[in-house]
Structure 1
Amino acid sequence: MVDDHQKRIAIIGAGISGLLACKYALSKGFQPTVFEARSSIGGVWRKTLSTTRLQSPKSVYQFSDFPWPDSVTAEFPSQGEVLSYIQAYAAHFGLTKHIKFNTKVLSINYRGAAEDEKAGGDISGSGGKWEVEFSSGTESSAGSEVFEADFVVLCVGKYSGVPNIPEFAPGKGPEAFQGRVIHSMEYTDLKPEQCKDLVEGKRVAVVGFQKHALDIAMECSAINGKENPCKLLYRTEHWNVPDYLPWGIPLTKLYFTRFAELLVHKPGEGLLLSFLATVLSPIRWAMSKFLETDIKHKHRLAKYGMVPKQSFLQELSTCLISTVPEKFYVRVEEGSIELKKAPSFNFCQEGIEIDQIQQPVLEADVVIFATGFRGEKKLQDIFRSKHFGEIIVGSPNAVVPLYRECIPPRIPQLAVLGFSESISNLFSSEIRSRWLAELLDGKFKLPAIKEMEEEAVKWDEYFKRWRGVLPAVLRWRAAYMAQRPAVQGYGLEAQEKEWALGRTVRALWPNGLRLLLIRIQDILCVNY
Structure 2
Amino acid sequence: MESEKVAIIGAGWAGLQMLQSLKELGVEAEVFESRSEVGGTWTPEMSYHGLQVHSPMYTNLMTYKGQAFPFKGMNRETLLQKLDAESVRVYLGDFAEKLGLKPKIQCNSRVKEIRYHSKSQSAYLSVESNGREVEKGPYRLVVFSSFAAKASFPKIPAQGFQGKLIHSSQFKEEVMDEIIKKDLKVLVVGGGKSGCDMICAFQKKGYKRLTWLFRSPYWFLKYGAVVHGGSPLGMLRGFLFLFSLLLFLVSNKLPVFVGWLVGYFVLPKSEGALPQHFDGRRFHFGVLDEKQVNFVEQVAAKQGEPKAVTKEGLLLESGETLKCDVVIYATGCETGFGDLKLVKDGEVVTVEDVPLYHHAVVPNFPCLISASTAFYQFGPSRALTMAQYITWYLQAAPSEEEMEAKARRNWSTQSAGKSNGFSSDRTFVAEFLLFYLDLWRDQMVSMFGVLKIFADLFVFTKMSPLQLNVGKMPAFPTSFPN
User: TM over 0.5: same fold?
Assistant: yes
Q: Which residue of 1 aligns with 2:457?
A: none
Q: Which residue of 2 aligns with 1:522?
A: none
Q: Which residue of 2 aligns with 1:427?
A: 381
Q: Which residue of 2 aligns with 1:253?
A: 238
Determine if the alignment matches structure 1 residue 129 to structure 2 residue 122: yes
With the length of structure 2 as denominator, give the TM-score of the two structures: 0.75
* Secondary structure in structure 1 of the residue aligned to 2:18: helix
Q: Which residue of 2 aligns with 1:349?
A: 311
* Secondary structure in structure 2 of the residue aligned to 1:6: coil
**Are 2:307 and 2:316, in contact at CA under 8 Å, matched by a contact in 1?**
yes
* Secondary structure in structure 1 of the residue aligned to 2:82: coil
Cα distance in 2 between the residues matched to 1:73 and 1:243: 13
Cα distance in 1 between the residues matched to 2:272 and 2:244: 33
* 2:326 paired residue among 354, 366, 371: 366
Q: Which residue of 1 aligns with 2:393?
A: 439
Letter in 2 for 1:184: S
Distance 1:60 1:327, change over 3 A: closer
Residue 332 of structure 1: how far off its partner (Å): 4.4
Determine if the alignment matches structure 1 residue 97 to structure 2 residue 51: no
Q: Which residue of 1 aligns with 2:351?
A: 392
* Secondary structure in structure 2 of the residue aligned to 1:406: coil
The answer to which structure has the higher helix fraction is 1
Residue 431 of structure 1: how far off its partner (Å): 0.8
**Are 1:17 and 1:429, in contact at CA under 8 Å, matched by a contact in 2?**
yes
Residue 325 of structure 1: how far off its partner (Å): 5.6
* Secondary structure in structure 1 of the residue aligned to 2:286: coil
Residue 322 of structure 1: how far off its partner (Å): 1.0
Cα distance in 2 between the residues matched to 1:372 and 1:433: 27
Structure 1 gap segments, 5+ residues each: 114-125, 266-280, 395-399, 498-527
**Are 2:213 and 2:302, in contact at CA under 8 Å, matched by a contact in 1?**
yes
Residue 391 of structure 1: how far off its partner (Å): 3.6
* 2:82 paired residue among 63, 71, 76: 76
Letter in 2 for 1:323: V
Letter in 2 for 1:454: A
**Are 1:431 and 1:490, in contact at CA under 8 Å, matched by a contact in 2?**
no
Cα distance in 1 between the residues matched to 2:24 and 2:100: 11
Distance 1:49 1:405, change over 3 A: same
Residue 16 of structure 1: how far off its partner (Å): 2.0
Letter in 2 for 1:130: A
Residue 95 of structure 1: how far off its partner (Å): 1.7
Distance 1:296 1:27, change over 3 A: closer
* 1:242 paired residue among 219, 222, 228: 222
Cα distance in 1 between the residues matched to 2:438 and 2:185: 46
Residue 410 of structure 1: how far off its partner (Å): 1.0
Cα distance in 1 between the residues matched to 2:235 and 2:317: 40
* 1:460 paired residue among 386, 391, 411: 411
Residue 234 of structure 1: how far off its partner (Å): 0.5
1:421-444 deviation digits (Å, cap 9, x = unpaired): 56614333321222113332x2xx
Residue 351 of structure 1: how far off its partner (Å): 0.5
**Are 1:435 and 1:489, in contact at CA under 8 Å, matched by a contact in 2?**
yes
Residue 468 of structure 1: how far off its partner (Å): 5.9
Distance 1:255 1:490, change over 3 A: farther
Letter in 2 for 1:196: D
Cα distance in 1 between the residues matched to 2:167 and 2:362: 31
Residue 232 of structure 1: how far off its partner (Å): 1.2
Give the superposed CA RMSD. Answer: 4.0
* Secondary structure in structure 2 of the residue aligned to 1:323: strand
Percent identity of equivalent pairs: 20
Letter in 1 for 2:362: P
Cα distance in 2 between the residues matched to 1:477 and 1:338: 40
Cα distance in 2 between the residues matched to 1:306 and 1:362: 28
**Are 1:236 and 1:308, in contact at CA under 8 Å, matched by a contact in 2?**
no
Instruction: Within 5 Å, give how 1:82-231 maps onto structure 2.
Output: 82-110=88-116, 112-113=117-118, 126-137=119-130, 141=131, 143-161=132-150, 163-168=151-156, 173-187=157-171, 190=172, 192-198=173-179, 200=181, 201-223=183-205, 225-226=207-208, 228=209, 230-231=210-211
With the length of structure 1 as denominator, give the TM-score of the two structures: 0.69
Q: Which residue of 2 aligns with 1:330?
A: 294
* 2:339 paired residue among 348, 367, 381: 381
Cα distance in 1 between the residues matched to 2:139 and 2:62: 27
Letter in 2 for 1:240: F
Letter in 1 for 2:114: I
Cα distance in 1 between the residues matched to 2:258 and 2:222: 14
Q: Which residue of 1 aligns with 2:55?
A: 56
Cα distance in 2 between the residues matched to 1:369 and 1:34: 31
Cα distance in 2 between the residues matched to 1:13 and 1:325: 30
The answer to which structure has the higher strand fraction is 2
1:469-504 deviation digits (Å, cap 9, x = unpaired): 965665786652587554332335999x9xxxxxxx
Distance 1:100 1:88, change over 3 A: same
Letter in 1 for 2:146: G
**Are 1:241 and 1:322, in contact at CA under 8 Å, matched by a contact in 2?**
yes
Letter in 1 for 2:133: S
Structure 1 or 2, whichever has the larger Rg, is: 1
Instruction: Within 5 Å, give how 1:1-40 maps onto structure 2.
Output: 5-40=2-37
* Secondary structure in structure 1 of the residue aligned to 2:220: coil
How many residue pairs are counted as aligned between the two chains? 430
